[in-house]
Amino acid sequence: MADRVVLAYSGGLDTSVAISWIGKETGAEVVAVAIDLGQGGEDMELVRQRALDCGAVEAIVVDARDEFADEYCLPTVQANALYMGRYPLVSAISRPLIVKHLVEAAEYHNASTVAHGCTGKGNDQVRFEVGIGALAPDLNVIAPVRDYAWTREKAIAFAEENSLPITVTKKSPFSIDQNLWGRAVETGFLEDLWNAPTKDVYDYTVDPTVNFEAPDELIVTFDRGIPVAIDGRPVSVLEAITELNTRAGRQGVGRLDMVEDRLVGIKSREIYEAPGAIALIAAHQELEAVTVERELGRYKRQVEQRWGELVYDGLWFSPLKRALDAFVRDTQEHVSGQIRMVLHGGNVVVNGRRSEESLYDFNLATYDEGDTFDQSLAKGFVQIHGLSSKVAARRDLSKKK
């Protein structure tokens, strides 16, 4: 039996050409694996057939939408993960799921090698290869686009020379990656940092500056950090994200234009649309503010930043990430309740919070009649709290004399 290579297959030009190219260069049979992450676009059966037409001996399509929502998007919500304080890891959280299925396919089909279509300048090559190394250290990895300096022109020429059934349409000026959790757009004229995005950059969101729809007020219900209902209607995590993508996207929520620090050491200008992600994380953060104890909340916010950096850097399967996952899960024990918020003009505004697990005590918080906070205790607390600073200040002042 010939050796086999499992290829992460998107259905586009590069990975379609890679099927034939890998076969010619290595003599191996290619098994194409396409993952449905809610990215929309082409029918996945057409994608599967294209892989076979391009020479794959097997073509697998995995409907991973619920898995993606439950096991990748949900932990991102519970970690309130925003890389550099803004980016909800749209592409980063999809790569480990793809890696998981590539490794499973390699084991099933007795393949010695996994292939992907990433370039050498981006983060995804790291996410794929480090992830594969963590799950299956003995698998080999090849990356034709990176390792053999493919260009679009070379790929088209190869397809024509080998009569591959690929219809090449006009090239989009952008590089686009999208899934259930959001949409990432880069390259083209966006590489000039002074150029503003044009309307054709966006697809998941309506321009909030020209949208005159009435504000959309809704209530999200959480049970231990899991969104379980919208406006009282039970939803799965997948349904919650899908509905909020539509409703928040219609209000222009979730547009990001940022320069981010890539893992490979360069800065890159990225445009993101993540309406459902931004709305869900905003709601979850507000519910945690009500239900999570102060010191735990302070420490969790440090963990959230580190969690997001690990995921961005392709270390989803690392020991530290697993340990932080356990911590985050534990923090969600009391994160149950309802958040009411208004979506409008590109903004998410929370205007109501309700929870049986709330740590908010009206009688302690009020300044009106019924106040149960003993203010007479505060004077001594303030003096002791600031004592170390006061002692140090006396020392420092004495040296200046």
CA atoms lying within 13 Å on the CB side of residue 9:
33
Is 395 part of the annotated catalytic residue set? Answer: no
- How big is the CA angle at 90 (ends 87 and 96), to the nearest 5 degrees? 125
| Rounded-to-integer distance, Cα 84 and Cα 95, Å | 19
Cα separations (Å) of 23 from 3, 14, 154?
10, 14, 17
30, amino acid identity: V
What is the rounded CA–CA span in Å between residue 109 and residue 56?
Answer: 13
Helix, strand, coil % over all residues of the chain, rounded to 5: 45, 20, 35
Tokens at 94, concatenated:
């999809």
Among 95, 127, 183, 255, the active-site one is: 95
Asked whether 227 and 235 are in contact (CB, 8 A), the reply is yes
66, 146, 175, 269: the active-site residue: 175
Q: Which of 4, 10, 14, 16 is catalytic?
A: 14
Sheet holding 182-186, edge to edge: 175-179, 182-186, 267-273, 255-261
- The active-site residue out of 124, 177, 183, 313 is 124
Whether 396 is catalytic is no
Annotated active-site residue 175? The verdict is yes
CA distance linking residue 199 with residue 206, whole number of Å: 9
| Active site annotation includes 95 | yes
Q: What is the phi/psi pair of residue 221, to 5°?
A: -105, 130
CA distance 107 to 9: 17
The DSSP line for 286-340 is HHHHHHS-HHHHHHHHHHHHHHHHHHHTT-TTSHHHHHHHHHHHHHTTT--EEEE
DSSP 94-157: HHHHHHHHHHHHHHHTT-SEEE----SSSSHHHHHHHHHHHH-TT-EEE-HHHHTT--HHHHHH
**Non-local CB neighbours of 247 within 8 Å, separated by 6+ positions:** 216, 218, 275, 279, 343
Query: Could you give the residue numbers annotated as active site?
Result: 14, 95, 124, 175
